[in-house]
Structure 1
Amino acid sequence: MDKGVLRKSLRLFEDNNARFAVIKLTSCNGTESVAFSDASCGFEVLTDENKTPCFVPFTEIFEKGISFLREIENNSCEKIERLQGPTNDALLCLDRFYKSKEQNEASLRKVFDMGWEDKPRVTETDITVCLAEHLIGRLAPRESCVLNSMLKGNNCRCGCQKEPTFSPTGIGHELVWHGFVDIIFSSHQGMSAIAHTVMKSKEISPKKRKRDEVDDRLDDDSQRQITEDLKQKSPNYKLEEAFAQTIVFSLTENQKHPNCLNHMVPNIVISPEKFEIVLYDAERDILLCSNSIFLFNLDLPEHRSLTNEAIIILWMVLHYEIFCSGFEKASNDVLVKCKSNFKSLVESKWDIYSNSLKICVPEFPPVKRWSINELLHRGHQLNLH
């Protein structure tokens, strides 16, 4: 592994440009039989006593990962070679990605640059397959992932001839939030991560991207705009959809692996330009959402390359089981302050969320919706005396 890359990546993290907002839900329709695409959440971000939005640095939530990189940077090659288990596997995965980085970048550019006018035009499915085959799937544990089986029959448009793995990706329960995610990743120890792809309706000019990049860094002067920034992210999807997917998936993993120590399960919401990370800790009921992180170096748009920051963040997030510290060291007061309120909002259906969620199902049975006439016809008279 090139230590120069690690040094550059660690320096990038020192400015805390990658941050998480703590999300507080004020309402949601999670007690209803609702698909993710129709999920609705009222939300605000955690603020201090002066009503200034609070954030948690990426370096705090992924403190284990940052410490690991510093250790690798300072250690000799001999010590690195003696690494065993998941940490060694993760480092080898990152090393393999950097060795094929230029090839993967060429494939990404080829598909992303096809545009809406190409025949056949590029679709969101094309974007999903390409990202899985040449970026996030290559950085994941075991370099493995499955795509929604509803996308079956679509190979990567870059011409690499790779055949994606398709499988049912339905999660949730038909009586509450449910639906299908684009990609589910494998893991070292049985827990997983998910990704949701987004396709922009039009290309954004490099000049506009530069301005957005400054805005998305969320410096101290723009902290008061954090709620508005979150609500305006990625216009082709609702942020509530990502919240619902992440919460349900994390609760599903918690249901499957109740003895695991780390329940801060991630959802990567990614487009051809940038990505956000949504995290939900099912054990502590804490929901986080990051600022936008740009994928490419924009100095030379026609020869753009993936940034080290984006690669390292995606790699750490996908290997969150070993790199994510979450709120392990937080005080009880902080844990209470950071609760998302999801559990209390869906209390009437909590038994389903905690015990009956499904995963990797091909379809959900329809839920009968009675009309008022049907309900009155089947009901019984209320005795008023």
Structure 2
Amino acid sequence: MATGKRRFEDSLTGATSTACKKCHDNDDDEIFTSFPVKLIRQIAKHLETLCCESDYVFKTLKILNCNGADYNGGIPFAKAYCSVTPGTRTLYFGSVFVHGIKMLTAFLKNRQVPTDLPRKRLLRKLLFFLSDEGTHLLLKDLEKFHETELMMVLANHLYGKLTSSSKYMIDKNSTKETDHCPCNSESCRLSGQFADTGIGNEEVWHGNLDIIVDNDMVGLSYPSGNKEEILGGNEAKIRHVDLSRNQQIISQTIVFSFLQKQRHPDSNNFLFPCIGAAHEGMVVYFYDSQKDILLESSFIPFMSVEGKVNVHAILASWFAVNYKYLSSGIPCSKSHDDKSAFLSHVKEKLGIYEHNLKFGNLGVPVSFEDDESDLEVEQSDFLSETRWELLELGSMPDGHSEQYCLLDKEM
């Protein structure tokens, strides 16, 4: 497999890359006939590893406890608490992308091109991306970017390049608005725009996603809870961010799934993703708000052990950001308890998740004040008597409180 990866990366240079760039510039379908057989064979190997082997899987997660329905009010994503444990089911990565695997395999085997325009466009995007060395080599040098810069670069040079639309939204509160990509290329401009990326409801989990890819289809997040910047000289080193079982991303994934179901009730399935990304790689989370199933993928590094761009990361990104066309939903199970138990943990506020989530225009978090008229407190004779004594002391004239003043002086 290592040799195959090396040959594949080597084949991306030279005449092949130049020819495919020319195809891309012409913006026609020549890529489907001119795509080299050598690359087809190598992609087939990587696709088999990503989708059909145990190196990359989805695991179900079960929620033990969470603050998604906190009585005291809504919780921002950065402070979300969600204790989880592995569920009983493990799926191959390709299990939820059957439609996409069939489409890509048909092309790799017989150069069969989808007849409908959206899927045809997605396939063309993937082939151009894999064929153009300059398009994805930027993934080799992600460590130099700070948090916000990283998300913008990934959206502009990876996720946005693989979707049917290159448009995306950047959290307008994250950084100063600009049309220039942080990749340091003077001619590179952002294909996305700064906007309100807030999702949720002030009474439950809520907050802003770093990036929303393809306008409203996929959430992209760099979790804030486990990172720390260390300033030294002119550089800032960022410690490793743990994407596995990340509470912030889990809460964002669940809210995003409920929101998407609310906005797209006619979807074929309700398995919606949120991608957690860091400098080293990515994790894909899925939540199905109808079946109450939460999935977490294996960690997918952006670089291979040979120091090459990891093609598995490119393929996984293509599947995830285009889930609308490539996902087949969660395969049926007769013997496993797949449910995450989120619905039972938030049953008192489930109606908010199902019907009252917002996309943008989130206000100040709501906190619920106690209604003293309905509040029942256990009576205590001791506290009742002491309370009146304290009230009397508090209202006593200054002359009668001299002894207490002396006590204060002694203390």
> Match for 1:252: what amino acid?
L
Structure 1 residues 282 and 368, CA, compared in 2 at 3 Å: closer, same or farther? Answer: closer
Secondary structure, counterpart of 1:11 in structure 2: helix
CA distance in 1, matches of 2:110, 2:40: 10
Matched, 1:153 2:180: no
Instruction: Decide whether the 8 Å contact of 1:201 with 1:236 is kept in 2.
Output: no
Which residue is 1:229 aligned to?
none
Alignment of 1:170 with 2:201, yes or no, is no
**Letter paired with 2:110:** N
Shift of 1:354: 0.6
Further displaced range: 131-140 or 308-317:
131-140
What is the aligned counterpart of 1:71 among 88, 106, 119? 106
1:289 is matched with which residue? Answer: 296
> Do the aligned partners of residues 297 and 333 (structure 1) sit closer, same or farther apart at CA in structure 2, a change above 3 Å counting?
closer
Q: Deviations along 1:61-119, whole A, 9 cap, x unmatched?
A: 2222222222111114xx42x6322210110111222243424423x445x243xxxxx
Question: SS state of the match for residue 364, structure 1?
Answer: coil
Question: Is structure 2 residue 130 aligned with structure 1 residue 98?
Answer: yes
Q: Which residue of 2 aligns with 1:223?
A: none
For residues 313 and 103 of structure 1, do their structure 2 counterparts lie closer, same or farther at Cα, with a shift above 3 Å needed? Answer: closer
Are residues 299 and 358 of structure 1, via their aligned partners in 2, closer, same or farther at CA, if it must alter by over 3 Å?
Answer: same
**2:267 aligned with 1:235:** no
The answer for the alignment partner of 1:341 in structure 2 is 341
1:9 aligned to which of 46, 57, 79: 46
In structure 2, the residue matched to 1:310 is 313
- Summarize the Cα distance change of 1:315–1:383 in structure 2 as closer, same or farther, 3 Å threshold: closer
CA contact (8 A) 1:22 1:286 kept: yes
Cα distance change on mapping 1:381 and 1:127 into 2, 3 Å:
closer
Which shows bigger deviation, 236-245 or 273-282?
236-245
Secondary structure of 1:27 counterpart: strand
> After superposition, where does 1:122-161 map in structure 2 within 5 Å?
122-151=145-174, 152-154=176-178, 155-160=180-185, 161=188
Q: 1:26 aligns with which of 47, 64, 76?
A: 64
d(CA) in 1 for partners of 2:342, 2:147: 30
1:38 is the counterpart of 2:37: no
CA distance in 1 between counterparts of 2:243 and 2:378 reads 51
Q: Indicate if the aligned counterparts of 1:148 and 1:168 stay in contact, CA closer than 8 A.
A: yes
Deviates more, 1:343-352 or 1:65-74: 65-74
Inter-partner Cα distance in structure 1 for 2:140 and 2:378: 70
Task: Give 2:210's aligned amino acid.
Answer: D
Letter of the structure 2 residue corresponding to residue 67 of structure 1:
K
Kindly report the root-mean-square deviation, in angstroms, between the aligned alpha carbons of the 2 structures.
2.8
Stretches of structure 1 lacking an aligned partner (at least 5 in a row): 48-53, 115-121, 204-232
When residues 133 and 67 of structure 1 are mapped into structure 2, their CA distance, relative to the original with a 3 A threshold, is same
How far has the Cα of 1:129 moved from its partner? 1.1
Greater mean alpha carbon deviation, residues 142-151 or residues 278-287: 142-151
Residues 189-338 of structure 1: matches in 2 within 5 Å?
A: 192-197=217-222, 234-235=241-242, 239-300=246-307, 305-327=308-330, 329-331=331-333, 334=336, 337-338=337-338
- Quick check: 1:262–1:321 contact (8 Å CA) kept in 2? no
**C-alpha displacement of 1:197:** 2.2
- CA positional deviation for 1:234: 3.1
Q: Conserved in 2, the CA contact under 8 Å of 1:124 and 1:198?
A: no
Alpha carbons of 1:126 and 1:332: their partners in 2 closer, same or farther (altered >3 Å)? Answer: same
The counterpart of 1:182, out of the listed 207, 210, 213, is 210
- Aligned partner letter, 2:107: I
Contact kept? 1:61, 1:326, Cα under 8 Å: yes
Q: What is the distance in 1 between the residues matched to 2:193 and 2:45?
A: 34
User: How far apart in 1 are the matches of 2:280 and 2:69?
Assistant: 34
Mapped to 2, the partners of 1:366 and 1:159 lie a distance apart of: 38
Report sequence identity in percent. Answer: 27
Aligned to 2:13: none
Q: CA deviation at 1:149?
A: 1.2
Alignment CA distance shift 1:6-1:235 (3 Å): closer
Which protein shows a greater Rg? 2
Residues 198-249 of structure 1: CA distance to partner in whole angstroms, max 9, x if unpaired? 586589xxxxxxxxxxxxxxxxxxxxxxxxxxxxx93389711111100000
Shift of 1:6: 2.5
Match of 1:61 among 90, 96, 102: 96
Provide closer, same or farther for how the CA distance between residues 290 and 357 of structure 1 changes in structure 2, counting only shifts above 3 A. Answer: same
User: Structure 2: how far apart are the matches of 1:238 and 1:144?
Assistant: 29
